[in-house]
Amino acid sequence: MDIRVFEGLFGVLLISSLYVIYQQDIILTIAGVIGVYIGFRIIKSRNKTVVPYSNKTVLITGCDTGIGHNIAVRLGKKGVTVLACCLSATSPGGEKLKSIGSNVHVLDTDVTSEDSVQNCLKFVKTICDKKGLWAIVNNAGIVRCGDVELTTMEVYSQIIQVNLFGMIRVCKAFLPLVRQAKGRVVNVTSVRGIIAYPAFSAYSMSKFAAEAFSDSLRMEMSRFGVKVIIVEPGNYGGATALWEEENVNDMNAAASPDVLNTYGNGYLHRLAMNGIEGCSTTYPNLIPVSDVLEDAIFNQKPESRYLIDGSNKLYDIDCVSM
């Protein structure tokens, strides 16, 4: 069935729901709207058009581990030309990527360094200077937690340099090649770029800013036929290995005695335990994120943003809360 039929049905149902609500049959209205919406999503997914993978080149940052590594492996095995940017090309993740095939190029790239990104650009031009770059996946990122009083300015600066300025730096360097291919930019943010939590001010502010940057860039690039997509993973801390207990130990070493005394001797330990407990409820692998990234990269008409449930429970409380 044509998706336009479901769009029409959905509109008619919404209008008719006013009458049904007037008749006080609210349950029927809710059930009907949910039913048509589910049907709409099913038909839309079955009618999607996928861009051919052949002759496409995709640049991915943060490929040493986690999300970036997983999607680089997946696309590499499917024959896509992958430019896998690693902080260290000789890391275990980088070495594994090299073994996939000649279509996967592992590049030493520090997104916080202009020289490093420009050196990466020089190599990328040798691969796709004539056809352009189909997609950038800005995935490189770090997490640091801690209350504002317990987070040093150095930590705030480090997170912004990687999660925000790194994304901007990569976009500015590679956008001409993406415009040439009329491709797309896929920026990995987080559910915590939509809703903020205590002890995550530095991380959340970097992701909120990345969301705003991406939305502005989408509007600017639309006239060039370039799509900008935001991918917002939920609770995947345990699967990405971004959470590290030593972050809490660093806070303990940097905090003044007055602040530590105010918060209490056991506060940082409880913070560490909460982080470990949160990781235990994360989805066990990154397959859902890789599925979404692949859709964002190759769907002819991708969503503007994808929110990905990341819990191993019935639902991801972070995604529901927003």
User: What DSSP string runs through 14-29?
Assistant: HHHHHHHHHTT-HHHH
For residue 50, the cross-strand partners are 299
As a whole number of Å, the CA-based R_g of the chain is: 22
Report the candidate in 128, 214, 218, 140 with the shortest Cα–Cα distance to residue 177: 128
Handedness of CA 55, 134, 125, 130 (dihedral sign): positive
Helix (H) or strand (E) holding 57: strand 57-61
DSSP state of 151: S
d(CA 187, CA 185): 6
Q: Tell me the residue type at 271.
A: L
Whether the Cβ atoms of residue 23 and residue 57 lie closer than 8 Å to each other: no
Contacts by 263-270, CB closer than 8 A, 24 or more apart: 263/147, 263/149, 263/150, 268/150
User: What DSSP string runs through 200-224?
Assistant: -HHHHHHHHHHHHHHHHHHHHHGGG
Clarify whether 19 is annotated catalytic: no
Locus of tokens 């971004």: 242
Annotated catalytic residue, options 203, 236, 283, 306: 203
- Residues serving a catalytic function are 203
